[in-house]
Amino acid sequence: MFKRTEESKLTSWFFEIDRRLLYMVLLMVAIGMFFAVSAGSVAAERINQPWYFFIAKALPFYVIGIATLFVTSLLNKKFILWISVAVVVIGIVLLGVTVVSPHIIKGSARFVSVGPFNVLPSDIMKPGFIMLTAWFLAEMRHRFGEKMFLIRDAWKLHWFSWWTYIAFFAPVLVIILTHPDVGTSLLYLGVLVSMLLIAGLPWSVFCGLIAAGGGMLVFAYHTMSHVHNRIDAMLTGTGDTYQVTQSVQSIQHGGLFGRGDDAFIKQSLPDAHTDFIYAAIVEDLGAIMACLLLGLLVYVLKLLVTDALNARDKFVFYAVGGTAALFGIQSCINLISTLHLFAPKGMTLPFISYGGSSLVGFCLLFGMVLAIVREDKWK
């Protein structure tokens, strides 16, 4: 459709970028905007607000997110790493605020109030966390080779070793866990383990980390009442199962082709525009369209995996692989919670669910991915 007839920075960007991935991200954002109106309108009515309440609140984040996606995709690896450092520093500062003066929503102290908006620091940190982890793994491989996980020098107490990363990551994970936010803690741990695995982590150590994640869940079950209640409700069907019951009924009511204006169950579905937006989509459009949305998510995951496997730079390989892990794991957690296959975790569906912090964070992350893949392929 377009021919490369001139050499300019914008022209080079257009022809060198992974346009398929860019188009799919924009399509997911468009779907999210549509359901911010459709599902958000019923959520607004429950709190006696006009139907456009949530889309009006979300519009600044859509503008910022899309601008961030395009601007970041124009940058090079050096700028991406500096932005990652800034994002992580800002995220850590905001996490500190959640310890000292949190904005509590539904019993969780994981939010920070910034003017009229509620910001989730753990969402803001995700792009920087993945990029800096990828850089660290690439540097460790460069310094210590393929045996970087087991060689003794990599575990010595000096400024650049595994202890450096643990000293950074462990406090962040502990703060998120104590919000309490077990779901996000497990998400971060899952992404980290995935990145370590693609970096060559021995299977014996991998199994140990999986066991540590299971131990974290057991610990949360016995020490956090909301985790205990949700898991018991999932396993026994007793207790507070209202959310997941409404979610499943909304999906069943949608049938194959959806109910459109007759989709009434979502009106009583809590968080229909955020955590349970997939159920609202099924009731509105039906199972066939919902399966096409699943296909879109899988296709985005496939594009990420392909870009990772084609990378020449180890940093790009780890960063895009980590992005694929984050996108896949978070999508799965949201979907299995919606389908009542796991306890509700309060986690958004990437790009689709209403949520400013999540949207901007994922736009920033995918803009970074587009930038480093482009540079790795063409420079």
d(CA 330, CA 348): 7
The DSSP code for 156 is S
**Nearest residue to 53 (alpha-carbon basis) of 116, 107, 109:** 116
> Which pLDDT score is estimated for 106?
65
**Burial zone of 154 (CB within 10 Å; 0-12 exposed, 13-18 middle, 19+ buried):** middle
Confidence label for 268 from pLDDT (cuts 50, 70 and 90):
low
Give me the pLDDT at residue 254, please: 77
Q: How far apart are CA 21 and CA 291, in angstroms?
A: 19
Give tens-digit pLDDT for 60-96: 899 999 999 999 999 999 999 999 999 999 989 988 8
pLDDT band of residue 129 (cuts 50, 70, 90) is: very high
Rounded distance between C-alpha atoms, residue 213 and residue 166, angstroms: 16
| Torsion sign across C-alpha atoms 267, 270, 271, 275 | negative
* Rounded CA separation 289/79 (Å): 39
Sign of the alpha-carbon dihedral angle for 221, 225, 229, 230: negative
Judged on CB neighbours under 10 Å (0-12, 13-18, 19+), 2 is exposed
Q: What is the pTM of this model?
A: 0.90
